[in-house]
Structure 1
Amino acid sequence: MRRQMWGLRLRVLGKVLRSVKSLSRELARRQIAAPNSVPLPKIGIALGGGFARGIAHIGVLKVLEEENIPISFVAGTSVGALIGAIYCSGASAAEMEEIACRVRFRDFARWTISRYGFASNRRMAGLLNSVLKVKTFEELRIPLAVAATDFASGNGVIFRSGDLVETVRASCAYPGMFEPIRIDNKVLVDGMLAHPVPTKPLREMGAERVLAIHLKGRWDVGGVPRHLFDVIGQCFAIAQENSAALWRPWADLLIEPEVKAFKYDDFEHSCELVHAGEAAMRAGLADLRAWLNLLPAAGLPAAIPNPAAVPAD
């Protein structure tokens, strides 16, 4: 009985500490001010797709949190939509890192051959319901846009209202692997096909500066694919690179975590992926902070040059 009481107290204490961290992050976002009192630009962050490699997004968010960099808008595609939804619902980067380091493929999907895919991501609904602190876009602490692709027209579909769980599932409906998701009489598949890195939606939401997180796929010349999904993944990577001209002009700063060494399904290396995101974001911090006039340089640059954090063309 005494042991149960201690366990209950520890769980309550953990919730209190997480709430305090969340409140501190919210206050920092609202109260941080530039030394010369120049109004802060509204920063939007675009989280691209990349399956397991997308865990690197958590490392990026972790650094932004630690540096008290205020994020006004988030847009996500595929795994970027999943991570963006959890973050915007109020989870801290530390909480997300803890979840990521123990999540495996079986926690959000299962292999089951159907007419439309080799696996089902219905389990993702259970995972999201267990980690999301709210269930609709309207309840989010930070405005979020989730990108999916209309299978019939090929056009991008951007969600900013309504149910979170099903829209994130649609954004993550990786062709060939997961079944398409039907929402509002539309058959939807992975958002990477239309919005590899959803930068433009951030501008439409009101972002004055856009930070794009691009996860390059594996480009091992001469490498032999292990199976069908390596082939599909490489095709996605090729399409993403070839469509860069569509999304890069909307970005002010491009961060590319070093994730080439990781396979698309490397969930067992989640902690290393988080570290890769941290390293890439730290390399671009000086330029990002310049947007907030927190460095001696006056004014806000139109484009940010940095050899480590690639400037958008």
Structure 2
Amino acid sequence: MYRIPLTVLLTMALLSAQGQRVGLVLSGGGALGMTHIGVMKALEENGIPIDYITGSSMGALVGAMYASGWSPHEIDSLFSTEQFRIMADGGIEPKFTYYFNQGSPDASLITLKLDLDTALQTSLPTNIRNPALIDYAQMVSYGPVSALAGYDMDSLFVPYRCVASDITDQRSVIFSKGDLAQAVRASMSYPFYFKPIRLDGHLMMDGGLYNNFPSDVMYDDFLPDFIIGSNVAYNSPPPSEDDLLSQLRAMMQERTSYTIQCENGVIIEPRTTTTLFDFSDPSVAIADGYAAAMARMPEILEQVGRRVVPEDVAERRRAFIARQPRMVFGDVRV
């Protein structure tokens, strides 16, 4: 029988911890996804590394901001602004209203077109929120970082993936390359809330329709040693007879497995009073996410041996942002 010296065992354990890679999976969930910001705050404060990020819907948005070099504090600050609330509600800032066509006031939801030569036509709106301002904001935010990364999401500040739902071919699509703004916009196109977008001839909707917790994408693409999940979405409850959106989503959505494929991992499940489309007070959801992460922190600290110094992360973040090119509008088409 061979005896391995204690010093050798300790050295092996230390080397293993130093090489430990950690992935963060962020679920969809509308405004509830703001809890992810609090989760990331808690992880950074405790020196837990975030080496990879995958997200769906709101998780894709929050994750993309972090992967682009935003700190959790900066994301918190943005979400707390009046500008973000207006964007989330599909509004337009008063100073920009002059530049947008304003339709005639119309309270109708359904339009019936009658013509003697044609059959009865019914027109339902494809969205109840105007995405123009949020589309512009994402282009400005993600354009420079996409260019810096060479449109390769492995080359962002943190390697990143998001998922969207291709309703043309009825399948989940993983974004690993291309324009980050388009990828995030596709992933967060909640049915009938934001208008879907067309990419390469395919109509893209909210990633949560087919994969609302992309832990499988995390495992398959990055193979981390440890996965931390932040989940505020569960398989939807039965649709209500008084809620058209819940009925339509129930018809389109596939059931998602809210588990992690990695042998080692933790799923944080924040509970919050924030509702699906309520972006009025992000501080509540963010605080709830922080509290949920701190409740699981002893377990995470025990299983994740590797640590990062918050000041070092902040310095790397500043260096990454400093390398981003300046955005220039070379062509405007109306």
Identity %: 25
- Going from structure 1 to structure 2, the CA distance change for 1:121 and 1:217 (only over 3 Å counts) comes to farther
Q: Distance in 1 between matches of 2:38 and 2:13?
A: 27
Larger displacement relative to structure 2 (37-46 or 216-225): 216-225
Q: Does the 8 Å contact 1:218/1:262 carry over to 2?
A: no
Taking the TM superposition and a 5 Å limit, the aligned residue runs for 1:32-71 are 36-38=14-16, 39-71=18-50
1:211 aligned onto 2:228 = yes
Match of 1:288 among 287, 300, 310: 300
**Residue type at the aligned position of 1:59:** G
- What is the 5 A alignment of 1:240-251? 242-244=255-257, 247-250=258-261
CA separation of 1:187 and 1:255: change in aligned 2, threshold 3 A: same
Output the amino acid matched with 1:203: Y
Aligned partner of residue 128 in structure 2, secondary structure? strand
- Report the Cα offset of residue 123 of structure 1: 2.1
Unpaired runs of at least 5, structure 2: 1-10, 92-102, 104-108, 110-123, 308-334
Partner Cα separation in structure 2 for residue 73 and residue 222 of structure 1? 35
Task: Give the secondary-structure state (helix, strand or coil) at the position aligned to 1:157.
Answer: strand
Alignment of 1:146-161 (within 5 A): 146-161=162-177
Q: Secondary structure at the match of 1:168?
A: helix
- Normalising by structure 1, we get a TM-score of 0.72
- Identify which of 83, 86, 91 aligns with 1:106: 86
Q: Is the 8 A contact 1:109 1:124 kept in 2?
A: no
Aligned residue in 2 for 1:121: 131
Q: Which aligned pairs between 1:90-101 and structure 2 lie closer than 5 A?
A: 90-101=69-80
Residue 299 of structure 1: aligned partner = none
Assess if the C-alpha contact under 8 Å between 2:25 and 2:230 holds in 1. yes
Q: How does 1:1-313 map to 2 (within 5 A)?
A: 36-38=14-16, 39-102=18-81, 103-108=83-88, 110=90, 115-132=125-142, 134-135=145-146, 136=151, 137=153, 139-204=155-220, 205-216=222-233, 228-229=244-245, 235=250, 242-244=255-257, 247-250=258-261, 252-259=265-272, 261-293=273-305
In the aligned structure 1, how far is the partner of 2:171 from the partner of 2:237? 30
For the residues of structure 1 that align with 2:239 and 2:80, how far apart are their CA atoms? 31
Which secondary structure does the structure 1 equivalent of 2:14 belong to? coil
Aligned-partner SS, 1:36: helix
The alpha-carbon distance between structure 1 residues 109 and 182, as it changes in their structure 2 partners (threshold 3 A), is farther
Gaps of 5+ in 1: 1-32, 296-313
- Classify the secondary structure of the residue corresponding to 2:32: helix
Q: Distance in 2 between matches of 1:287 and 1:84?
A: 23
Instruction: Report the more deviating stretch, 170-179 or 214-223.
Output: 214-223
**Structure number with bigger Rg:** 2
Contact preservation (8 Å) 2:38, 2:287: yes
What is the CA distance between 1:232 and its match in structure 2? 5.8
The change in CA–CA distance for 1:239 and 1:181 in structure 2 (over 3 A counts) is closer
- C-alpha contact (below 8 Å) 1:109/1:122 kept by paired residues: no
TM superposition shift of 1:239: 5.8
Instruction: State the structure with bigger RCO (CA 8 A, min sep 6), 1 or 2.
Output: 2
- Asked if 2 retains the 8 angstrom alpha-carbon contact of 1:41 and 1:291, the reply is no
Distance 1:61 1:34 in 2: 29
Measured on the aligned residues, the alpha-carbon RMSD in Å equals 3.2
State the Cα deviation string for residues 210-238 of structure 1 (Å, max 9, x = none).
1111104699999996x5446667x49x9
Structure-2-length-normalised TM-score: 0.68
Number of paired residues? Answer: 256
Deviates more, 1:34-43 or 1:263-272: 34-43
Paired residue type of 2:225? E
What letter is aligned with 2:208?
Answer: M
C-alpha spacing 1:36/1:283, structure 2 compared with 1 (3 Å): same
Q: Is the 8 A contact 1:108 1:127 kept in 2?
A: no
Task: Note closer, same or farther for the CA distance 1:37–1:115 as it changes in structure 2 (3 Å cut).
Answer: same
